[in-house]
Amino acid sequence: MICKLILALILLTSCSGAAERSGGNPGQREEQEGIVTGADQVESYVPGLEGKRVGMVINQTSIIGNTLSVDSLLALGVDIKMIFGPEHGFRQNASNGAIVRDEVDPQTGIPIVSLYGKNRKPSKAQMDALDVLIFDIQDVGCRFYTYINTLADIMEACAEYGKQLIILDRPNPNGFVDGPVLDMRFKSGIGKFPIPIAHGMTMGEFAHMLNGEGWLANGVKCDIKVVRMENYTHDLYYELPVNPSPNLNSQASIILYPSLCLFEGTIISQGRGTYMPFTVLGAPELKGQYEFSFKPVSIPGMSEAPLHRDKICYGIDLRDYDIKELHASGRINLQWMLELYKAFPEKERFFDASQSPAMGRIEALIGNDVFKKQVMDGLSEAEIRKSWEPGLSDYKEMRKQYLLYP
Taking all residues of the chain, what is their mean pLDDT, rounded to a whole number? 89
The Cα 303–Cα 297 span in angstroms is 8
Q: What is the CATH number of the domain that holds 220?
A: 3.40.50.12170
Quote the number of domains for the chain.
Answer: 2
CA angle in degrees (0–180, nearest 5) for 251-256-259: 160
Torsion from C-alpha of 349, 350, 354, 359, nearest 10 degrees? -170
Q: Which of 192, 227, 262 is the last residue of a domain?
A: 227
Q: What is the CATH number of the domain that holds 339?
A: 3.90.1150
Same-domain check for residues 257 and 174: no
pLDDT of residue 103: 81
Same-domain check for residues 216 and 267: no
Same-domain check for residues 135 and 185: yes
Same-domain check for residues 264 and 201: no
The Cα 84–Cα 54 span in angstroms is 11
Q: Is 119 contained in some domain?
A: yes
Same-domain check for residues 181 and 297: no
pLDDT of residue 373: 97
pLDDT of residue 32: 64
The Cα 182–Cα 193 span in angstroms is 7
Same-domain check for residues 205 and 79: yes
Regions in the chain scoring below 50 on pLDDT: 1-9, 11-31, 92-98
Beta-ladder partners of 290: 287
Helix, strand, coil percent content, the chain, rounded in steps of 5: 35, 15, 50
pLDDT of residue 359: 56
CA angle in degrees (0–180, nearest 5) for 344-303-143: 75
pLDDT in tens, 227-284: 999 999 999 999 999 999 999 999 999 999 999 999 999 999 999 999 999 999 999 9
pLDDT of residue 16: 43
pLDDT of residue 30: 39
What DSSP element (H or E) covers 111? strand 111-114
pLDDT of residue 360: 66
Q: Is 313 contained in some domain?
A: yes
Q: Is 111 contained in some domain?
A: yes
Closest of 132, 208, 194 to residue 163, by C-alpha? 132
Report phi then psi at 105, rounded to 5. -65, 115
Same-domain check for residues 69 and 194: yes
Distance between first and last Cα of the chain: 37
The domain in which residue 102 lies consists of 4-15+37-227
Closest of 332, 396, 363 to residue 190, by C-alpha? 363
Same-domain check for residues 340 and 264: yes
The Cα 184–Cα 167 span in angstroms is 27
pLDDT of residue 29: 37
Across 126-155, b (16+ Cβ under 10 Å) vs e yields bbeebebbbbbbbbbbbbbbbbbbbbbbbb
pLDDT of residue 117: 67
Beta-ladder partners of 294: 313
For 227, the 3-state DSSP assignment is: strand
